[in-house]
Structure 1
């Protein structure tokens, strides 16, 4: 194999072409004639040498002599067409044989795009090579633009996903009490308004309860606020373990919570709170209890009045000794 390249002077935008011929003199002549600052001429004196070069090099065009020992030009072309890496490389056969017409049929069948006869007219050769070099550059530019577009699409998709995640996280933070992880006051009140509208449309019962931890100030004063925070978190976790959707718990503030129970009658709501109370365990070895006021929404009753009746029921639960629940039915 003859390699007449000088990599030290190779331009990053250089396009390579391959010349395959068993004549060293012709290879040298072709190299000298076709080589340019931006066109690199790779030369191989056999089909085997050409195959090795093609395994490592991307070429814009292959100029192949038809008559070569062992593996001729047609066989090399067939190998190139069967190889994924070289399948799309344009091939121009160079032949000195007299039976040109018959050989052309074989050559075109092997994948040739053109034929040149020896001796080759330098102007014709140069013109054809330039056409394929320019086509190669255009394909490369198109591939690079497509790759850039794919990178931009991927970047946009990643950005859109990041924005969706950030939006979802922001919504979650806006709706969530930072300490306990349950809905904050604004969100649970909005959910209660929505549940009240659903109750009117679907004529289903709606009960809600205001829950308040008993003597919570004493917990903070005795054990410290960090233990008080742990009790609040443990209480929310416990309530959520005892309820099922669409029931929802939210923190109104301090140690006071709203338990929203759509589709639940007053008696069923009282059963829910008793289950929560019966299964309540100490938090960080600190025993605690809660009181509850339960109210059922009446037909057409605004949320403020339902909350007011639940709050009144909670007040009576506190006055009755705490660690209990009091119910208020819907007004007639």
Structure 2
């Protein structure tokens, strides 16, 4: 497994195995909200009178709430550019840019559009101005002097709503991260499965289909031949005196010869022909859509171009057979095998076809 996937697996384990016994499932469905890290919530207070700011801060500020203070709309916008806030308390009567205008500025910016606003005012306002306030995004009006208990109560509601939204966002982030990790792990599992399947079907030394796979392919090719009435030729190839190569040059050289031989044959095959190793130095060559005469030509081309490898010169013998109507794979291979024996008895380094 790659280091990247291992790291992602560690993340999954850290999420799902918790020291306190609570699982991520509990966290995700909300039964353990304290599992998410809780940071102080910011409240913005804007008032051009410093004493009002100090009084509001004294009422609201605590370890879980930070009061951000500004004496002007410009100062408030600067704070909003760098801080997320759960609620904005805006004084209506301010010089230059009043609270209503500041609220409209906040509503025009994506970052602050959804920040709840409570207006603070020292004067009773008429219905028209009240309408303008609500139109600018106000959720409430409070009149000065504000009762501390009323202010605390209203602020607490918006703080709780903000914390709920933040926890929901954290849960969604966890879910998205779990989904991302799950998709990557699933992709890695699919890759590993594909590699495992390929490994199970492939001869490790030569890279060609192993005995089990090539015989499966041969059965399929024979069934297709019956359905489509197309010719199918099959050859069994055996490297001549291969034991002598191992004894003279060593087994590593023998392995190199086997690998080079497979590469040599495959480079001269035409699709959909396929070469597989059936054991030791013996190979099975399937040639769907190929008549016996053409199959002989293919093998002779392979023979003519064969070169020594790893310091060892080598040759091969082959027996060929073309599938007959109603013939089973074992019968077809038996015919090719008999032809191979005849090639060996004839001095090797040649190809023979089965007798009629």
Q: TM over 0.5: same fold?
A: yes
> Is there any run of 5+ residues in structure 1 with no aligned partner, and where?
1-10
C-alpha deviations, 1:237-256, integer Å up to 9, x for none?
A: 11111113321111111111
Equivalent residue for 1:192?
Answer: 218
Change (3 A) 1:278 1:67: farther
- Please list the CA deviations of residues 227-275 of structure 1 after superposition, one character each: whole Å capped at 9, or x if unmatched: 1111111111111111133211111111110111122211221122122
The structure 1 residue matched to 2:267, chosen from 219, 236, 241, is 241
- Decide which of 143, 156, 166 is 2:169's aligned counterpart: 143
**Structure 2 unaligned spans of 5+:** 1-36
Cα distance between partner residues in 2 of 1:79 and 1:256: 83
Return the alpha-carbon distance in structure 1 between the equivalents of residues 347 and 114 of structure 2. Answer: 89
Alignment of 1:108-187 (within 5 A): 108-187=134-213
Displacement of 1:170 after TM fit?
0.9
Q: Could you tell me which residue of structure 2 aligns to residue 281 of structure 1?
A: 307
Q: Could you tell me which residue of structure 2 aligns to residue 202 of structure 1?
A: 228
- Per the alignment, residue 218 of structure 1 pairs with 244
Aligned counterpart in structure 2 of residue 308 of structure 1, from 334, 344, 353: 334
What is the number of residues matched between the two proteins?
A: 320
Match of 2:55 among 14, 24, 29: 29
**What is the distance in 1 between the residues matched to 2:100 and 2:264?**
81
Q: Name the counterpart of 1:42.
A: 68
Q: TM-score, normalised by structure 2?
A: 0.84
Question: Which residue pairs with 1:4 in the alignment?
Answer: none
Find the aligned partners of 1:170 and 1:108 in 2 and give their Cα distance. 65
Match of 1:113, SS? strand
- TM-score normalised over the length of structure 1: 0.90
- Which of the numbers 277, 282, 291 marks the counterpart of 1:265? 291
Once the two structures are superposed, residues 292-324 of structure 1 have per-residue CA deviations (whole angstroms, 9 ceiling, x without a partner) of: 111111122111111111111111112222222
Offset of 1:276 from its aligned partner?
Answer: 1.7
1:78 equivalenced with 2:104 (yes/no): yes
